Every structure is written in C-alpha cells, then in structure tokens.
Amino acid sequence: MASHTLKVAIEVEEVALGPLMRLLHKTPGVVSFHVDMDNMKKRAANGASDARGRAPGKRGKNLVNGILIEVSKHKVITTEQFKAIWRTLGGNQDAIGVLRRYKMEKMLAPAGEDKVRLGQKGEARLKELRAAAAAAGEA
C-alpha cells in the first residue's frame, strides 16, 4: 500500500517553537518540517513582535506591570500564585513559559524552590511605574 504525505501548516508562538520542533522530530510519520524564518525577519523589520505580525501593544506591558505590582505586594510568590495572577490579569500564554522568560529577563528572580521575587529589572521598572504614577497625580 502506497503512503501519501500531506502538508500541514501550524502557527506557534516563538516560545513554543523549540519544544514543538523536538516533538515533531521524535514523532513517527513526520517526513519533514520547515520553519519560515523569512516571515520572522519581515515581522522584525516591521517592528512587529507577535505571531500575527502585529506591533507590540500596551496589553503586554500591562500584563508585565500587573505581575510586578502583584509580586511587590507579596515580596515572594509561589509558582502556583504566579499562575493564578497571570490568569487573573488575562494572560493567554502558558504561565510557566512566561515565568521562565521573566526570570531570563531579570524581571523576576528565584527565591527558593518554586518561588520568585522581583528581579533587578523588575524592581527598576516598578520604581519607574511608581514615579510615573506620582507625576501623573501631581499634574
């Protein structure tokens, strides 16, 4: 019996690309896969950052700001608390992937097993937010 192949297109977020490629590589029956890096270059040239080529908006910044404010209220939070805060603020990506990214960007820092606190950049950004809020209150 002859086997036929089908072409399938999948759009994924950048953070999911590596794990997806590993999964596809291990999956029986996958003949080949192609990552359209040209499309990524075009988005970057246009100043866009998301998978649909849209420019970065305020929503992403508001989520980061909301996380930083919540973490500052508690000083240290658990991974589960982070997930709950992320969902409450309307985050739609995988919370663990976002947490990992925030740690890499030094917005958050490890504070023990399954716990995080504000990182260097997170503290600096929180100071900026508070300064801007104070300035807006004076105006």
Rounded (5°) CA angle 55-59-64: 115
Helix (H, G, I), strand (E, B) or coil at 28: coil
* Per-residue DSSP letter, 112: S
Question: Domain end: 56, 79, 102, which one?
Answer: 56
Does residue 87 share a domain with residue 129? yes
Per-residue model confidence (pLDDT) at position 89: 82
Tally the domains of the chain: 2
Does residue 74 share a domain with residue 50? no
Does residue 123 share a domain with residue 75? yes
* pLDDT means over runs of 10, the chain (139 residues): 75 76 82 72 50 45 81 91 86 83 92 93 91 75
Does residue 93 share a domain with residue 49? no
The CATH number linked to 65 is: 1.10.10
Does residue 30 share a domain with residue 8? yes
Q: Given the structure tokens 């097993």, which residue do they identify?
A: 113
Question: What is the residue range of 42's domain?
Answer: 1-56
Kindly tell me the sign of the dihedral angle through the C-alpha atoms of 44, 48, 54, 59: positive
Does residue 63 share a domain with residue 123? yes
Q: H helices then E strands: how many in the chain?
A: 6, 3
CB under 8 Å to 35, separation ≥6 — which residues? 17, 21
Per-residue model confidence (pLDDT) at position 51: 45
Question: Domain end: 56, 80, 96, which one?
Answer: 56
Residues 12, 39: Cα–Cα separation, whole Å = 13
pLDDT in tens, 18-30: 777 888 878 888 8
The pTM (predicted TM-score) of the whole model is 0.54
Per-residue model confidence (pLDDT) at position 116: 94
Does residue 72 share a domain with residue 119? yes
Does residue 9 share a domain with residue 49? yes
Does residue 126 share a domain with residue 69? yes
Residues 128, 102: Cα–Cα separation, whole Å = 17
Question: Domain end: 56, 72, 93, which one?
Answer: 56
